[in-house]
A = this chain, B = another copy of it.
């Protein structure tokens, strides 16, 4: 049976508190889901399968904004639902700081082409 997951790529070069990080990751996951609900199609089928199998989520890291952007672009090319999260900067970070990228839910073997080499946070 095909496995589905969401993966969030976070920047490890930023200093974020536990709460701040959790909110950024949640923004990324929710933004992907909302885009999928709006657009439908095969993405919606992926979403349904993923919910049915328990909503697997994984958090991995990169160490720069450049790397974050490159992974995001790679996901778009592969047709994976993706959200690029920029902090509004009310606390902790400068306004407009990119913090993380949400990917999926999508089949794990497709997402792994974007994040398979990245370490867990």
Q: Is the interface of A mostly helix, strand, loop or mixed?
A: helix
A120 to B23, CA, bound (A): 12
Chain copies in complex: 2
A59 / chain B contacts, CB cutoff of 8 Å = 19, 22-23
Q: Is A68 an interface residue (CB 8 A)?
A: no
A24 / chain B contacts, CB cutoff of 8 Å = 22
CB distance from A91 to the nearest CB of B (A): 10
Interface positions of A (Cβ within 8 A of B): 6, 8, 10, 18-19, 21-31, 33-34, 37, 51, 54-55, 57-59, 88, 120-121
23 pairs across A/B with beta carbons < 8 Å? Answer: A8-B22, A8-B26, A18-B21, A18-B121, A19-B59, A19-B121, A22-B24, A22-B25, A23-B25, A23-B57, A23-B58, A25-B26, A26-B28, A26-B30, A27-B55, A27-B57, A29-B29, A30-B33, A30-B55, A31-B55, A33-B33, A33-B34, A54-B88
